[in-house]
C-alpha cells in the first residue's frame, strides 16, 4: 500500500474516532458555537471601534472562528497525543509496519478538516443568527489563511506534547497557555478595549498574528484593502516551522510514566 493510501486510511480512522468521542466533539465543535451565541447575544447591539466602527457580531464571528481553528489543531492534538502516548498506543503503533509519519499526517489532516468544518459552521451561524455577511469573494484568501494557521498550530500542538508529563496535566497545561492569550490577543476582548501594552505583549505570540490575518481576510478593510495580511501570516508560518523543528527533535512515542 502506498504512503498516500496509508495516510487516507489513517485519516478515515481519525475522523471516525473524533466524531465518536463526545468530549472531543463538545469541546472542539460545540464549545466555540456556545461562545459565539453568548457573545453575539450579550453584545450583539453594540459596536466596536475597529476599522472606523463595526458591529460586535461582525467582530466576534472571525474571532471565534480563530479560536475554533486553534482548538481543532493545537489544543486537540496536544491533548489527544499525550493521552495516546501515556496509554501506550503511540508505542504500539510505532511497532507496526505503518511509518510513524503516516500516524502524524492522519492526525494533522483530521485537525485541518475539523477546522474547515468549524469555519463553515460558525460562518453560517453568524449569517443566520446575526446577519454577518459571509465574504464569498474572499473565500480563497480565507482558506489560505486557515490552512497556513491550522498547519502551524498543529505543529505547535505536537511540539507541546514534549512539555506535558501526563494525561492529567494535558488539559490544565494547554488551557493555561491558550486561555490567557485569547484574552490578550483580542479574541474575547475587542482591540479597542485593550491597552496598547497588552497588544504589544500579545504580538510576541502567534495567536495574535493569526487572529489579525484571519480578521483581515474575513472582514473587508474597505476599498483597496488587502485581503491577506502577509506580515502576520509569515509570522504564524515561522512559528509553525519552529514548532515542526521542536516536534521532530523532542516528540516521544513512549510513555513518560513508563
User: How many Cβ atoms from other residues are within 10 Å of residue 168's Cβ?
Assistant: 11
pLDDT of residue 33: 94
Helices vs strands, H then E, count in the chain: 12, 2
- CB of 114 closer than 8 Å to CB of 28: yes
User: How many Cβ atoms from other residues are within 10 Å of residue 5's Cβ?
Assistant: 10
The SS3 of residue 35 is helix
Cell readout for 240 is: 509553525
Q: Report the b/e string of 20-43 with b at 16+ CB within 10 A.
A: eeeebeebbbeebbebbeebbeeb
Q: Which of 205, 199, 164, 195 is nearest to 70 (CA)?
A: 205
Rounded to whole angstroms, the maximal C-alpha distance in the chain is 59
Q: How do the pLDDT tens digits run along the chain, 258 residues long? A: 566 788 888 888 888 888 888 877 888 889 999 999 999 988 877 888 887 788 999 999 999 999 999 999 999 999 988 988 888 888 887 777 777 778 778 888 888 899 999 999 999 999 999 999 999 988 999 999 999 999 999 999 999 999 999 989 999 999 999 999 999 999 999 888 888 889 899 999 999 999 999 999 998 776 455 678 899 999 999 999 999 899 888 888 888 765
Q: Euclidean distance between the first and final Cα of the chain, in Å?
A: 33
Torsion on CA atoms 36, 125, 150, 107, rounded to nearest 10? 100
Sequence-ordered alpha helix ranges (H) in the chain: 3-19, 22-25, 31-43, 56-70, 76-87, 89-94, 100-130, 139-160, 167-184, 196-202, 206-218, 230-250
pLDDT of residue 258: 55
Cα–Cα distance between 93 and 102 in angstroms, integer?
A: 10
- CB of 62 closer than 8 Å to CB of 219: yes
Cell readout for 25 is: 466533539
pLDDT of residue 223: 46
pLDDT of residue 96: 75
pTM score: 0.91
Amino acid at each position: 500500500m502506498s504512503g498516500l493510501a496509508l495516510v487516507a486510511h489513517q485519516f478515515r480512522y481519525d475522523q471516525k474516532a473524533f466524531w465518536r468521542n463526545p468530549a472531543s466533539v463538545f469541546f472542539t465543535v460545540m464549545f466555540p458555537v456556545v461562545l459565539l451565541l453568548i457573545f453575539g447575544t450579550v453584545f450583539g447591539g453594540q459596536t466596536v471601534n475597529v476599522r472606523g466602527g463595526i458591529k460586535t457580531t461582525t467582530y466576534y464571528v472571525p474571532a471565534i472562528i480563530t479560536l475554533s481553528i486553534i482548538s481543532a489543531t493545537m489544543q486537540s492534538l496536544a491533548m489527544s497525543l499525550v493521552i495516546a502516548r501515556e496509554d501506550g498506543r503511540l508505542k504500539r503503533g510505532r511497532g507496526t509496519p505503518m511509518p510513524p509519519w503516516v500516524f502524524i499526517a492522519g492526525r494533522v489532516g483530521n485537525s485541518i478538516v475539523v477546522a474547515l468544518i468549524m469555519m463553515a459552521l460558525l460562518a453560517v451561524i453568524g449569517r443566520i443568527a446575526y446577519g454577518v455577511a459571509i465574504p464569498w469573494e474572499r473565500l480563497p484568501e480565507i482558506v489560505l489563511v486557515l490552512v497556513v494557521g491550522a498547519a502551524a498550530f498543529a505543529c505547535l500542538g505536537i511540539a507541546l506534547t514534549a512539555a506535558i508529563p501526563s494525561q492529567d496535566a494535558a488539559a490544565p497545561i494547554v488551557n493555561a497557555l491558550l486561555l490567557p492569550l485569547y484574552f490578550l490577543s483580542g479574541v474575547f476582548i475587542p482591540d479597542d478595549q485593550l491597552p496598547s501594552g497588552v497588544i504589544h505583549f500579545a504580538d510576541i505570540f502567534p495567536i495574535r498574528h493569526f487572529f489579525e490575518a484571519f480578521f483581515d481576510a474575513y472582514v473587508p478593510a474597505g476599498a483597496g484593502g488587502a485581503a491577506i495580511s502577509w506580515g502576520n501570516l509569515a509570522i504564524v508560518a515561522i512559528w509553525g516551522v519552529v514548532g515542526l523543528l521542536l516536534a521532530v527533535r523532542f516528540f516521544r512515542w513512549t510513555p513518560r510514566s513508563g
